[in-house]
């Protein structure tokens, strides 16, 4: 039941009249690793459950090549799914958990045994095969869940935040493990996460969702360097989001933005009109610290040691807060200058952001107290 | 911040709990500490009223009853037991009661499972439906019996309908016999069984069934392989409780049954012994035997339950 491409066509799902997922169009090619990325409540899990057949669609359709899939029941789709809480059958041993899907397909006993043992080896759980899930650690449970899903050699593997319950170290290990399995088994994977780092490192393509709508679909590089709008930028680690105004002298490749005593040169993304309100975003690592005579003058307020780098919070005289990363450690209260490369400062139109009212940076940009009252 | 923190920090040592490190009382404190670690501390005193209550209102009368059963008016200490098992009129009450209570408890548990299974999720009118299903608890046996007599009796609606439709020429006899009592036990026992099964079912992680579905299991396989094994220990417990309720049936056996014949249950025999023949040792004997039979059935069911998986019903880390 494998496919060359899986097509989601205007997939929409509403709960009690409210659209949790609106008009998702996506084509998954065989062998691809797709990450659905977004904050909680953005519709990414809804999308996954729709794909799995656990939620009926409100509108739209899903096609596996030329076969319509959204009317097919979950048990007949032949997709493997790894749940956030793993959903291991607590009364069955690891071996029986993994064999379950094969038994449901009524395969010959010898084949079931062979493929189960193979899957147990694949996730390196040989010594634990006879234990119950309750006797395993989180990472081991998670490997059982993956083995149980991939042992069926499914056309598509769906993973719903599979690493969110693990501690930081294990998460990194399992991340590599998942990528390794994806490549060595030639799986097609749709992976849901709210962790941009996880998505960037795992996926061939990312789908960023916000309030049920696709914000951007692209490769990790595209999303990292060219977020389509400031919501995506916010999510992709552009921690400095400043609500500013585009200056009259707006060029084709560069735009001057002003406000809160700042005057910066950036690169416009999307239609930025002169005089319009904009949101300028820059990553902490793309800001450079110089002496106070150059760049934006600011005072160092917080210094966080983070290993090779130091995270610095600095504030200008007008109360705008900047997050920076540097190699050298400034002292608290030190006067510094902040310089930003115009290519790295992305200027997004602020339009439509106020329509949603309570959205975070619209009223209170991520790290930027526009009113300066937090002093 | 620091102004409010200071008094509470200095307040601790002057509180009623003396600090453990003071040299003169060091040994005593250590002992108290060791006891506290085993759960022995002053809070145990809170258990005294409950313990007294159980002792006075349960253990003493129970012991008194057992003692009384070994003091028959004539014969050796086991004379009443001997009499019970030699007299078929008495002995058969065990079988009569079991033949009512075992199938009724089984039916209650079996009927609760599909209904509760259907009612796991959230849907409109769930509360109303639950209320309707649970209302018989509040009615009491007597009202149920009266309803049964009106409904299933020879001139009740049920038989009148059957006669009118022409399905039968004579009214079917469904009251004042085995079936009347059976229905009564089922009606009063079902709400208990249903509520228990529903709560056991709600405790089973719903993603387990969804996981089974993605692995290709149809609804029956999901129920049979996932839900039922996880529910079975709860069903055993539910069966025990409904069985005990049904086994001590008395009012309905008299009101809608045939208390002198087919539904002469064991509690009626005990009542007769105590208040008709004034043979208290015999009544006590019957009561003890009642308890023993119940214990045997429960032990058998719990023994079977012990063979089942009884651990967590969650699918992994929450």
Name the segment(s) of chain A with CATH classification 2.40.50.140.
230-363
Give the length of chain A: 375
> C-alpha dihedral over B256, B260, B264, B268, to 10 degrees?
90
Q: How far is A76 from chain B (nearest CA, A)?
A: 6
A5-225 is classed CATH 3.30.450.90? no
In CATH, the number for domain A230-363 is 2.40.50.140
Alpha-carbon gap, residue A59 to A50, rounded angstroms: 11
Check: CB of residue A152 under 8 Å from CB of residue A78: yes
Class of domain B88-306: mainly alpha
CB atoms within 10 A of CB B82: 13
B221 to chain A: closest CA residue: A104
Cα–Cα distance between B78 and B93 in angstroms, integer? 19
pLDDT tens, residue order, chain A (375 aa): 578 889 999 999 998 888 899 999 999 999 999 999 988 888 899 999 999 999 999 999 999 988 898 889 988 888 999 998 899 999 999 999 999 999 999 999 999 999 999 999 988 899 999 999 999 988 899 999 999 999 998 989 999 998 888 888 888 888 998 998 899 888 999 999 998 889 999 999 999 999 899 999 999 999 988 999 888 998 888 889 988 888 866 566 788 888 888 888 888 888 887 888 889 999 998 998 888 888 888 999 999 988 888 999 999 988 889 999 988 888 888 899 999 988 889 989 886 544 333 344 433 343 433 333 333
Domain boundaries, chain B: 26-69, 88-306
Q: What percent of chain A has pLDDT over 70?
A: 92
- Residues of chain A positioned with their CB less than 8 A from the CB of B216: 75-76, 78, 101, 104-105, 152
**Where are the CATH 3.40.50.300 domain residues in chain A?**
5-225
Any bridge partners for residue A282, and if so which? A240
Q: Which helix (H) or strand (E) holds B160?
A: helix B157-165
Task: Dig out the tokens for A276 from the structure.
Answer: 């319009």
Whole-angstrom distance, CA of residue B193 vs CA of residue A32: 51
Number of CB pairs < 8 Å for A and B? 103
Which chain A residues have a beta carbon less than 8 Å from that of B315? Answer: 83, 85-90, 133
Comparing alpha-carbon positions, the chain A residue that sits nearest to B314 is A90
What angle, rounded to 10 degrees, do the helices at A109-122 and A138-150 form? 140
Q: What is the ipTM of this complex?
A: 0.79
Instruction: Look at chain B and count its residues.
Output: 318
Contact B211 A89 (CB under 8 A): yes
CB pair distance less than 8 Å for B214 and A149? yes
For B214, nearest residue in chain A (alpha carbons) = A75
Instruction: Using an 8 Å CB-CB cutoff, list residues of chain B that contact chain A.
Output: 205, 207-208, 210-218, 221, 225-226, 229-230, 309, 311-318
**Strands, E, within B75-182: which ranges?**
none
Query: Measured between alpha carbons, how far is A82 from A157 in angstroms, rounded to an integer?
Result: 8
Report the largest interatomic distance among the alpha carbons of chain B, rounded to a whole angstrom.
95
Contacts of B211 in chain A (CB under 8 A): 81, 83, 87-89, 148
Question: Greatest CA span in chain A, whole angstroms?
Answer: 78
Kindly report, residue by residue over B46-93, the tens digit of the pLDDT.
999 999 999 999 999 999 999 999 998 888 889 999 999 999 899 999
Cβ pair B207:A83 closer than 8 A: yes
* Cα separation, B221 vs B246, whole angstroms: 33
Q: What is the DSSP string of A299-327?
A: EEEEEEEETTEEEEEEE-TT--EEEEEES
Q: What secondary structure, in 3-state letters, does B68-82 show?
A: HHCCCCCCCCCHHHH
Pick from A358, A344, A296: nearest CA to A321: A296
Pairwise CA distance, residues B139 & B172, whole Å: 26
3-state secondary structure string across A129-164: CCCCHHHCCHHHHHHHHHHHHHCCCCCEEEEECCCC
Nearest of A300, A278, A267, A263 to residue A352 by alpha carbon: A278
């Amino acid at each position: 039941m494998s496919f060359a491409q899986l097509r989601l066509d205007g997939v929409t799902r509403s709960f009690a009249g409210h659209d949790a997922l609106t008009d998702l169009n996506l084509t998954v090619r065989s062998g691809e690793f797709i990450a659905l990325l977004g904050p909680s409540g953005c519709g990414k899990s809804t999308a996954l459950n729709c794909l799995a057949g656990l939620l009926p669609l409100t509108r739209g359709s899903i096609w596996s090549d030329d076969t319509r899939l959204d009317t097919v029941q979950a048990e007949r789709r032949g997709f493997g799914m790894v749940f956030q809480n793993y959903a291991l059958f607590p009364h069955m041993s690891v071996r029986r958990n993994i064999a379950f899907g094969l038994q449901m397909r009524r395969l010959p006993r010898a084949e079931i045994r062979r493929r189960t043992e193979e899957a147990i080896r694949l996730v390196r759980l040989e010594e634990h095969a006879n234990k119950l899930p309750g006797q395993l650690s989180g990472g081991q449970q998670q490997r059982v869940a993956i083995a149980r899903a991939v042992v069926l050699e499914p056309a598509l593997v769906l993973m719903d935040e599979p690493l969110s319950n693990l501690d930081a170290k294990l998460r990194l290990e399992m991340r590599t493990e998942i990528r390794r399995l994806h490549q060595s088994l030639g799986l097609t994977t749709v992976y849901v996460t709210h962790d941009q780092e996880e998505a960037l490192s795992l996926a061939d393509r990312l789908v960023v969702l916000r309030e049920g709508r696709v914000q951007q679909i692209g490769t990790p590089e595209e999303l990292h360097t060219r977020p389509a709008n400031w919501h995506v930028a916010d999510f992709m680690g552009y921690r400095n989001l400043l609500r500013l105004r585009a200056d009259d002298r707006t060029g084709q490749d560069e735009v001057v933005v002003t406000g809160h005593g700042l005057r910066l040169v950036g690169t416009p993304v999307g239609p930025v009109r002169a005089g319009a309100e904009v949101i300028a975003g820059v990553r902490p690592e793309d800001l450079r610290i110089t002496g106070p005579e150059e760049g934006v003058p600011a005072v160092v307020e917080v210094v966080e040691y983070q290993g090779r780098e130091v995270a610095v919070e600095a504030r200008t005289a007008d109360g705008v807060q900047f997050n920076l990363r540097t190699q050298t450690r400034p002292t608290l209260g030190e006067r510094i200058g902040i310089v930003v490369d115009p290519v790295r400062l992305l200027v997004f139109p602020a339009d439509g952001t106020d329509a949603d009212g309570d959205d975070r940076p619209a009223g209170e940009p991520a790290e930027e107290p526009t009113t300066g009252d937090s002093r | 911040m620091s102004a409010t923190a200071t008094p509470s920090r200095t307040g601790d040592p002057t509180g009623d709990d003396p600090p453990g490190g003071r040299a003169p009382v060091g040994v005593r404190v250590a002992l108290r500490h060791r006891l506290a670690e085993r759960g022995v501390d002053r809070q145990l005193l809170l258990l005294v009223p409950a313990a007294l209550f159980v002792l006075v209102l349960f253990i003493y009368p129970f012991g008194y009853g057992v003692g009384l059963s070994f003091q028959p008016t004539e014969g050796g200490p086991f004379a009443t037991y001997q009499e019970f098992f030699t007299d078929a009129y008495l002995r058969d009450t065990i079988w009569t009661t079991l033949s009512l209570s075992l199938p009724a408890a089984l039916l209650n548990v079996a009927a609760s499972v599909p209904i509760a299974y259907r009612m796991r999720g959230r849907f409109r009118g769930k509360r109303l439906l639950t209320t309707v299903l649970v209302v018989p608890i509040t009615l009491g046996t007597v009202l149920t019996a009266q309803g049964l007599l009106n409904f299933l009796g020879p001139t009740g609606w049920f038989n009148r309908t059957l006669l009118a439709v022409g399905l039968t020429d004579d009214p079917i006899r469904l009251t004042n016999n085995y079936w009347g009592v059976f229905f009564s036990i089922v009606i009063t026992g079902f709400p208990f069984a249903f509520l228990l099964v529903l709560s056991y079912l709600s405790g089973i992680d719903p993603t387990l069934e969804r996981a089974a579905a993605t692995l290709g299991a149809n609804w029956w396989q999901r129920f049979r392989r996932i839900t039922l094994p996880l529910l079975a220990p709860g069903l055993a417990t539910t069966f025990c409780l409904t069985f005990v309720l049904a086994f001590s049936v008395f009012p309905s056996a008299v009101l809608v049954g045939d208390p002198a014949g087919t539904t002469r249950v064991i509690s009626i025999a005990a009542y007769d012994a105590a208040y008709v023949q004034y043979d208290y040792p015999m009544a006590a004997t019957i009561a003890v035997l009642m308890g023993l039979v119940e214990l045997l059935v429960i032990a058998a069911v719990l023994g079977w339950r012990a063979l089942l998986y009884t651990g967590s019903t969650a699918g992994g880390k929450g």
